[in-house]
Structure formats: C-alpha cells, structure tokens
Amino acid sequence: MLIRATAIVCAVRAHGEHGAVARLLTPEDGLLPGYVRGGHARRMRPVLQAGNLVAAEYRARSEEQLAALTVELLHSRAGLFAEPLPAAAIEWVTALTAVTLPEGLSYPRLHAALDAVLSAIEAAPSARGWAGALVRYELLLLSELGFGLDLASCAASGAVEDLAWVSPKSGQAVSREAGAPYADRLLPLPRFLLAGGEAGWDDVRQALRLTGFFLERDLLSGPRRSVLDARERLLGRVRRLAEG
C-alpha cells in the first residue's frame, strides 16, 4: 500500500519511547492512522501538531498492517495554540474528527470543510468570525455520518420562513408560531445558521448547544464521550467572553 496525500493532523499519541501513531484526515482516503518513527521526539512535535497541514506518505505491505508514515510540514498552525480560545477550538474540532470518522472511508467534503474552519480560526480577528464555520462543520459531520438535521422547513406546518426552533426528537426545524406552545422542549435555532453573517455571542452559544445535543446523543456515546472534555473547555472560554 502506498498513499501520498495532503492531510490535516487530527490526533497523535505516543507509541514506544520515541514513536507516535498519528491520525490524519486525507481528501480521498479519509481518516488514516500511521506510525511515525521519531514522532514523539522534540523536533517532530511542532510538525505533528493538531490542525497542521502536512504532506503525508503511507507505506505498508498490506491494508491490514499499520502503515509507516512520513510527514513533511506544509503549513503550521502551531502559533494559534498561544491563544486559549483558538487553541480550544482546534483541539475540539480535530479531536471530534478523529473519534467519529471511520478509518479509510473517503469524506472529501469534510476534509475541505475542516481545512476551511482551521483557516477561518487563523484569519478571523474575533471568534464570532469563525464560530459559524465551526458549527456548520459539526452539522456537516452529523450529515455525512447519517444524522443530519433538516433545517429547511417546519416539521409541523411545512413552512420555510421564521424557523426558530429545532425538535430534539426529529432534528427538524420548527417555525416560531408552531413551536411557541412547546418552546421549553425545543432547541433554539440561531438565525445566522440559516441567513449567514457574523453571529453574536448569544447566537454562538445557542448554536453550540444545538449541535452539541445531537453530537452527544448520536455520535459520542461510550468511550467516545471522553472527547467532550475538549468541547467543555471550548464552551467555557466562549462563556467567559460572552459574559465579559
């Protein structure tokens, strides 16, 4: 097996004294693990930083064998880890990708969307400028894995305007009028998810609550729940900014 690809570093764990197993998201072959000789050594740690873009080469005698992986840094996002909020966002979105995607299946839309989220975090002066991209990535991931939300029309009336809620049971939007009697049982649907544009802090918190509910229910059960610690760190930083 020989695979060469431009890939995004999603997760790395030490393996042996100096080696590491890295899980990278590639455009055509999806999430792939590989053993990096010396990957846990000091000189390689800045390369195998979550969120970095690397040129990856996987070699293995068979598809069942853990491939030997060599990487060359193409674009570093390590500097973003000096700022608590961007660091928390990158930690969360890459960890989410690593624990939810099955290995070896192609998800080109997710690869492109993850790179776009990371680029937005890098470029935007405020978290409100990239929060929408992060939430839309979470929505896309849910959809690609078979748990997509239907935000196009009201579950009760079929209306396509004034959608204000999402049913936690069906994952479908609900109009403001139809949902008013059941508002305490529905999840708010921030308008920016439908209309675009920059979101306020309340909108960001509501959007993260919305996607978080379905991610936790549908994808992050059992051992995968440990990744929710990274999400809590992100939510905590968002709350402090919103309240400050």
pLDDT in tens, 62-101: 877 899 999 999 999 999 999 999 999 999 999 999 999 9
Q: According to the model, what pLDDT value does residue 244 have?
A: 66
Distances (CA, A) of 208 to 3, 24, 113, 211, 231: 35, 25, 17, 5, 9
The model's pTM? 0.93
Residue 194 has pLDDT above 70, yes or no: yes
Residue 125 has pLDDT above 70, yes or no: no
2-76 CATH: 2.40.50.140
Q: According to the model, what pLDDT value does residue 39 have?
A: 87
Domain-wise residue ranges, the chain: 2-76, 81-151+189-243
Q: According to the model, what pLDDT value does residue 65 have?
A: 86
What's the whole-number average pLDDT of the chain? Answer: 93
Please report which confidence band the pLDDT of residue 23 belongs to, taking 50, 70 and 90 as the band edges: very high
Nearest 5°: CA angle at 231, between 227 and 233?
A: 115
Q: According to the model, what pLDDT value does residue 17 have?
A: 80
User: Domain 81-151+189-243 adopts which CATH fold?
Assistant: de novo design (two linked rop proteins) (1.20.1440)
Residue 16 has pLDDT above 70, yes or no: yes
Fold agreement (2-76, 81-151+189-243): no
pLDDT in tens, 107-124: 999 999 999 999 999 998
pLDDT in tens, 196-229: 777 788 888 899 999 999 999 999 999 999 999 9
Please report which confidence band the pLDDT of residue 178 belongs to, taking 50, 70 and 90 as the band edges: very high
